[in-house]
Amino acid sequence: MYKQDIGFYLGNEKSDGFSGLVDENNLFLTVEIEAGITPDIGRELTAYIREKINLSQIENLQQFDSFISNIIKEKNLPSGFSFSAGYLKGNIFYLKTINQGKIYIRRNNKLVLLIKGDATASGYIVESDIFIFTFNKFMKLLGEESGLNQKFDHRPISNIIDEITPELLTKDDKGTVALFIKLNKMDEEIKPVNDFFEVPKKINPLLNLKDFYLRFGQQKTFTFITVFVLGMILFWSVGLGYIRRSQESNQKKINLTKDLISQKLSQAEDVSFLNMSSALSLISDSRSEVEKLASLRSTSFSEQVKELEQLVLNTENKILKKEEKKYSEFFDLTVDDKNAKGDKFYLEGDNLLISDKGRGILYTLSLEKKSLDKDQSAEIKKSSNIALFEEKKYFYIEGSGVYQIVDGKTKKIIENDKDWGNIIDLMVFNGNVYLLDQGKDEIWKYLITESGFGTKNSYFQSGQSVDLSQVNSLSIDGSIYLAGDQVIFKYTSGLRDGFTVELPNGNVDMIKIFASNDLERLYGWDKEKGTIFVMGKNGDYQEQINSKILATATDFVVYKDSIYVLQGSKIFKIE
């Protein structure tokens, strides 16, 4: 039996193409596909290979060759794919390469290319052999065989990976992959002793000892009892020995899994800055390895499994900058009326507008002074969206139009328009009114004039509008941000901005996006997850904030980098 010291390098992910690896049930495989496949489909391929090897029996090189060939046929891989693979059967390694694949061996301090291109081979392994499964590009980045050989100096594989990672990250390593395996001899497993002994039959406890004596005599009885006692001792010692060996075997699995997970998590941290999707893939692989251990259901190392689960979770939280934050009560609207209840927020400067639709009230709360003012109107009870600009309060009523409250007086400022579809959000910026019309895939802009507001115009320049059916929210800081179910758009002066967002959780449904001239960052709220995703205004992911209150709140705003959350009559603050 051989202990496997395993390490790997996985380069930055390509949008078109895939590189990955499999380390499962003595199968060691790297795959490189130049184009014609997405990373998600590539990961489905490696998952399929893992599942298939667990269902396969490979006894010789021909069967291994057929195993790889069948995968290629079944998955109908695009042209430009390469494989580098090996299967360890006892002390024999079956090897196969396709196209750009290369397999090296390092033995007696010498690095030698075993096979490349379309080839197969098999041979006996020797203790301390190191095998490298990789491709042409990886070798070129390291300076071919001479460059790779310099990295070895009787060191663990993990140290070699740690050395080459910073070097390769400075180069164009997209699509590169390499798998390193060092084989060290383990003590031969002792076959359980009870395999050689028949288990003693149980004596009937109701057997009459007197009859026993009469039948066999006292001497024979004494001999039988002695043999029986010795047999029982032997039985229990064998059983306990078997349990002990089983525990030792499980502990070896734990240790090997710990090493593998530590390497994967370390690699995930290294690549997370440049390639978040690859980092998350490595975390997913690590979690799968822990699940395999947990499936053994051995209580003897359940605590160690929990430790590994926590290690994976801690690394994931670190990479995602995921933090669970506490919240505290900031203000309670019941200081005005015990029946007060907030529905929506709108922030301008330090003034927070809060609607109490049920009672027809708009509150204005100064976040700096904690002073509260209010306006009441029957029309507010019908409102669905609110806004604030220079002490003027705005609200929209479906089928009626846009209203304004100034000095306690309510008046309609924009009539209902037959061209409107489904107005779902309202913003006021620089005195101009913006209506998000999901039904017509439009943002209607009304310019402020001396006498009120002009006629509507489409905010979008010609040909710039998009499908807004998945959009839930609008926010403006000079540019316009639109967000919803797995979509975020940014527009500047009516033109679509070159703005892309890569959030770590692919399935994100933002019910509100928040931006402000006073903030350097952008905030998107996924209520179902209880998470606010924080992004730069160029779309780069920065962190995510989790708090229990975010899963039950009805609205939020951000002021001076603190999050204010509305729930019923209370406003909570997340620092």
For the sheet with 361-366, list strands across it. Answer: 344-348, 351-356, 361-366, 372-376
Cα torsion 556, 559, 560, 562: sign: negative
More confident position, 419 or 268: 419
Would you give the distance in Å from CA 262 to the centre of its chain? 17
Lowest mean pLDDT across 53-57, 257-261, 349-353, 389-393: 257-261
In whole angstroms, give the CA distance from residue 214 to residue 235: 29
**117 to each of 67, 81, 85, 357, how far by Cα in Å?**
18, 12, 12, 71
- In the predicted structure, residue 351 carries a pLDDT above the cut 90: yes
Torsion angles phi and psi, residue 103, rounded to 5: -130, 125
What's the confidence (pLDDT) of residue 15? 79
pLDDT (mean) for 327-348: 95
Long-range contacts of 398-405 (CB under 8 A, 24+ apart): 398/423, 402/426, 402/433, 402/435, 402/446, 403/377, 403/379, 405/362, 405/375, 405/377
Q: Nearest to residue 571, comparing CAs of 380, 324, 327, 326?
A: 327
pLDDT in tens, 22-45: 988 889 999 999 888 888 888 889
HSE-CB of 101 using CA atoms within 13 angstroms? 29
| E-state strands within 99-159 | 101-107, 110-116, 119-124, 129-135
According to DSSP, residue 466 is labeled -
Lowest mean pLDDT across 5-14, 40-49, 252-261, 438-447: 252-261
Q: Which CATH number fits domain 1-188: 1.20.120.550, 3.60.40.10, 3.10.129.10, 2.60.40.790?
A: 3.60.40.10
More confident position, 420 or 18: 420
pLDDT (mean) for 374-394: 95
More confident position, 118 or 267: 118
- In the predicted structure, residue 193 carries a pLDDT above the cut 80: no
The label of the residue with tokens 């846009």 reads 402
Lowest mean pLDDT across 3-7, 215-219, 272-276, 473-477: 215-219
- Residues 545 and 325 sit within 8 Å (Cβ to Cβ): yes
Q: What is the mean pLDDT of the chain?
A: 84
Lowest mean pLDDT across 101-115, 297-311, 382-396, 501-515: 297-311
Q: Is the pTM of this model over 0.85?
A: no
Cα torsion 376, 380, 381, 386: sign: negative
In whole angstroms, give the CA distance from residue 351 to residue 438: 28
- Residues 176 and 167 sit within 8 Å (Cβ to Cβ): no
Percent of the chain with pLDDT over 90: 46
pLDDT (mean) for 72-93: 89
As given in the structure block, the two tokens for residue 315 are 């690394």
- The reply to whether 1-188 and 328-574 are identical in fold is no
Residue 2 pairs in a beta bridge with: 185
- In the predicted structure, residue 79 carries a pLDDT above the cut 90: no
**Per-domain residue ranges of the chain:** 1-188, 190-320, 328-574
Residues 6+ apart with CB under 8 A from 430: 448
Please spell the DSSP secondary structure of 505-558, one letter per residue: SSS-B-SEEE--TT-SEEEEEETTTTEEEEEETTS-EEEEEE-GGGGT-SEEEE
- Residues 483 and 424 sit within 8 Å (Cβ to Cβ): no
As given in the structure block, the two tokens for residue 230 are 């010795």
Confidence band of 213 (pLDDT split at 50, 70, 90): very low
Superfamily of domain 328-574: YVTN repeat-like/Quinoprotein amine dehydrogenase (2.130.10.10)
Residue 391 CB: number of other CB atoms within 10 A?
12
